[in-house]
């Protein structure tokens, strides 16, 4: 847990995945920013991508869950392009001399950075089955 020891309750995610994931292909479902508490909560639909493929040629997935992160004492925030589907290429969490820097690298949708003083894994909610993601343009 060396690289993420500064993340409060990081072990909740590590217990689920066996490591801290890159969040590749995870989807940001919700970002809530509270001006009174100067806090943001980010809810991410995440899963583990396996090496095996299914009959259609898609990589199999496991360990589907919803992860909620709390970013406290926000110092700076720059978010763009949040829309109906926000797929990550990577979620980077690094510690600087005085801040925690959370960077959302997009595949599609939301991108940006939040600098805060503290980050916490508030919840990891296992899902029994894969979440059905809305397809772009189908109106559902």
Q: Give the tens place of pLDDT for each residue, 64-93.
A: 999 999 999 999 999 999 999 999 999 999
User: How far, in Å, CA of 70 to CA of 68, rounded?
Assistant: 7
**Domain extent listing, the chain:** 2-126
pTM above 0.85, yes or no: yes
* pLDDT, tens digit, 9 for 90 and up, residues 3-44: 799 999 999 999 999 999 999 999 999 999 999 999 999 999
Predicted pLDDT of residue 132: 56
The pLDDT assigned to 56 comes to 86
What pLDDT band is residue 131 in, cutting at 50, 70 and 90?
low
Q: Give the pLDDT score at 2.
A: 59
Select the more confidently predicted residue: 53 or 38: 38
Strands ordered across the beta sheet of 76-80: 76-80, 111-116, 100-108, 87-95, 27-34, 39-53, 59-72, 118-126
- Identify the residue whose tokens are 């690289």: 3
What does the pLDDT read at residue 41?
A: 98
pLDDT band, residue 137 (cuts 50/70/90): very low
């Amino acid at each position: 847990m060396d690289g993420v020891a500064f993340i409060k309750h990081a072990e909740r995610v590590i217990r689920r995945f066996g490591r801290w994931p890159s969040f590749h292909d995870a989807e940001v479902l919700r970002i809530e920013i509270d001006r009174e508490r100067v806090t943001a909560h980010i809810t991410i639909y995440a899963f583990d991508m396996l090496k095996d493929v299914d009959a259609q040629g898609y990589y199999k997935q496991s360990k589907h869950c919803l992860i909620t992160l709390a970013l406290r004492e926000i110092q700076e925030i720059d978010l763009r392009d949040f829309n109906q589907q926000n797929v990550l290429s990577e979620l980077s969490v690094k510690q600087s001399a005085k801040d925690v820097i959370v960077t959302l690298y997009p595949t599609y949708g939301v991108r940006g950075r939040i600098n805060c003083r503290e980050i916490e894994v508030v919840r990891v909610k296992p899902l029994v089955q894969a979440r059905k993601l809305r397809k772009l343009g189908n109106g559902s």
